[in-house]
Structure 1
Amino acid sequence: MVMGLWNRITGVIKDKKSVVLANFPGKSSYRSAVLETAIINATSHDEGRIDKRSAQIVFSWIRASPISIRPLLWALSTRMDKTRSWVVAIKGLMLMHGVFHCNVPAVQKMGRLPFDLSSFSDEYSGPSRTWGFNAFIREYYAFLDQRATIWSEKDYRKGDQGSLMSQQLTRLDKWQSLLDMLLQVRPRAQNMKLGLILEAMDCIIIEIYDVYSRICTEITNVLLSVYSAEKSEAASALKILQKATVQGEQLSSFLEFCKEFGVLNASEIPMISQIPEEEVEELKRIINGASHMITVCKGHEDPAVVEYKEVKERFKTVITEEWVVFDENTKINEENNDKISSAQESAALIDHVPAYNHREIPDFICF
């Protein structure tokens, strides 16, 4: 207990010292005293409090002027590179996550994160107490770093990048990989039932919903056009559908874990639609037989072609009824923001986050 009190006192002293240094004129043109002070306050050593106002200042600066991005990245990366406190590291990741959700083009094109927490280890408490926090930070960092990379590659749709199906499959592969990383971000120790961790997990839940919605929408588009695809593309589509089946099960399990742990947003997520195994098997049969039937029977209304058309229409109906349901849930949630506002308003880094509406720019990311 004495050690914990001492750590809090030294943390406050360090934050105050950093704020004082931030207000001294620096040689670098990248520096901004106001922005640096806001970043320091938003990533303070106080594990019981998040400075919401300072985080808002950071996001307001970024949205107001792209020129602010360079001093932001400089100040945040400098603080993250120096810190050995799990509290500061998590707050820094949350702040960076919020910057991404400002939807500023220059940030989206940034690529990798400007700092590295892949081997982070807290030095203020023993490993027996902090191993769970260390793992959480490394997993959270890995996700954000990959997310930054994917967003910076959004222009891959332009130019000669292969067929539309090929582009869709590429996007799906990236989204599914990102979802795998998201599902790894979780508290793994009992001493992690803290407000700061629960708020960070609230944000992870919202991000999972967003990524899974993208996956469902993209799979729907792929399956509806799989009949005109090349054999290799159809086979890739099948692998993606099989992976989506597994991820749907993993996601349901993840959400149950989060609910039991006390993550608020986990209780706000609608039921996850699973892909029936029989539909995966039917797609296998269609893919294996479609090329042969189209080649041999094209232009002939014989029984084989009739059967193919019937199966095709039936599968299209299944796709529409099963997959678009999830997308419609997104629209329903967008139209009923009041139902999810209680979870969002309780988050310590948020005033208003339309979590399921990609077009809106949130004031804060939900933590």
Structure 2
Amino acid sequence: MQRRFRQVCSALKEQSHVRYAKIASAGGYSNMNTMMIKATTPDDVPIQDKYIEYFLTLFSLSPSSCHSFAITFTRRFGTTRSWRVALKCLILLHRLLRSVPGNSPLSEQLLWIRSNGLISLHPCHFRDTCSSSSHSYTNFIRSYAHLLDVMLDSTDFEDQQQEQVLELLPQLQSVIDRAMDCFPVGLAAQSFMVQSAMKLIIRDNFVCYTRFRKEMAAVLDNLLQMPYRSCIAAFNIYKKASVQSNQLYEFHEWCRAKGLCGSYEYPLVDPIPHIQIKALETFLSGMWELTEDEEEEKPLIDVEDDQVSWETLLETSVTFPHQNDMMSSFFFSSGHGHEDEQAAASAYNPFYQPNEHCGSFPRNPSYPWGL
């Protein structure tokens, strides 16, 4: 009975906010708070595009309004106990962040408010009291808020130096992890509003993974010309990607089964076999020993000709005596069949991809690589 009473009180409170917003708007007293309330009504109707356009226009005409919006958002999201209102607040914030540059006044104001403790997206203290299945909705809201909190810290990848890319790649991996955490269960998984939010999350995840894969490929192309510490940092990122790719594939399969986004939108998620990680780890360890150089700021291998590829260097490394028995057995396979050649190449070259796609991940030719 007490729980039901709290649900009724919360619902009445939200409805009173909406009625006030309508009266204020009709009387010509429309302001930031009124527009925020009208955009985040406690119903199952998606946020209308006119509210998104209103805020974006306001930000462009008056950058100082970003501060007012951040304060208003904090008040609305921080005081509501309705999962519908909280979810619409996050969707509104998400759509606005997608529409402004990474260094916009909006992002700066949100970071300032967060640093001063006026808002906490992580840990998120929201708790739903307006539904009978509060647990599933509460968990989804908190996971979504955590994702947006991480997105606020992410930086654009345009024109980044190699050292900066190695710092930013883990941020992309963190965004991907947080997106996969937004895994609705129970009644939340059946909600139309939650599914609308998931489409935003998934599409951003597509872009994030595509960018990560592109930048990771560029890093691997220059792996042997990096200083030792940078080389090890890149390897650790690649090692985490080998685990994350399997998790991401499972997540995409679940989303695809739910009909979230079109099948053609899903990017190819390449598996990274564990044997590639072990082969690369052994190779890098051996290459560093062969340099016999304690100056870690120098490249792992000095290459006179910049056009020499890592494939050539790997082939040369076959004759080095430091290779262990396991690697030697791969390098000098006695089999002469096509399958044996592919197996040897996979161990010999950590980035080798045979013509037939390895693993259980299907290729998606409808989604060309790169953005």
Normalising by structure 1, what TM-score?
0.71
Which residue of the other structure, out of 144, 161, 173, is the alignment partner of 1:176? 173
- Change beyond 3 A, Cα 1:79–1:330: farther
- Change beyond 3 A, Cα 1:122–1:238: same
Alignment match, 2:129: 123
1:107 counterpart letter in structure 2: L
Matches of 2:24 and 2:184, distance apart in 1: 34
Contact 1:8/1:46 (CA < 8 Å) preserved in 2? Answer: no
- Change beyond 3 A, Cα 1:42–1:311: farther
For structure 2, the 5+ residue unaligned runs are: 294-300, 305-309, 318-344, 358-363
Report which structure shows greater RCO (CA 8 Å, sep ≥6): 1
1:15 counterpart letter in structure 2: V
Structure with larger Rg: 2
Contact 1:22/1:37 (CA < 8 Å) preserved in 2? Answer: yes
Paired residues for 1:162-241 under 5 Å: 164-241=161-238
Structure 1 residue 135: Cα displacement: 0.5
Alignment match, 1:37: 34
Q: Larger helix proportion, structure 1 or 2? A: 1
Structure 1 residue 311: Cα displacement: 6.0
Deviations 1:60-89 (A, max 9, x none): 322444232122212222211221111010
SS of residue matched to 2:131: coil
Contact 1:258/1:266 (CA < 8 Å) preserved in 2? Answer: no
Alignment match, 1:275: 272
Matches of 1:306 and 1:122, distance apart in 2: 56
Structure 1 residue 13: Cα displacement: 3.4
- Change beyond 3 A, Cα 1:145–1:306: closer
Contact 1:255/1:266 (CA < 8 Å) preserved in 2? Answer: no
Structure 1 residue 208: Cα displacement: 1.0
Contact 2:137/2:188 (CA < 8 Å) preserved in 1? Answer: no
Alignment match, 1:308: 313
SS of residue matched to 2:154: helix
Paired residues for 1:1-367 under 5 Å: 11-20=14-23, 33-104=30-101, 105-110=104-109, 112=111, 115-117=119-121, 118-126=124-132, 129-151=133-155, 164-265=161-262, 268-295=265-292, 308=313, 310=315, 315=349, 318=352, 332=368
Contact 2:59/2:66 (CA < 8 Å) preserved in 1? Answer: yes
Please tell me the root mean square deviation across aligned C-alpha atoms, in Å.
Answer: 4.0
Structure 1 residue 166: Cα displacement: 3.5
Aligned length: 311
Normalising by structure 2, what TM-score?
0.70
Matches of 1:222 and 1:288, distance apart in 2: 18
- Change beyond 3 A, Cα 1:68–1:333: farther
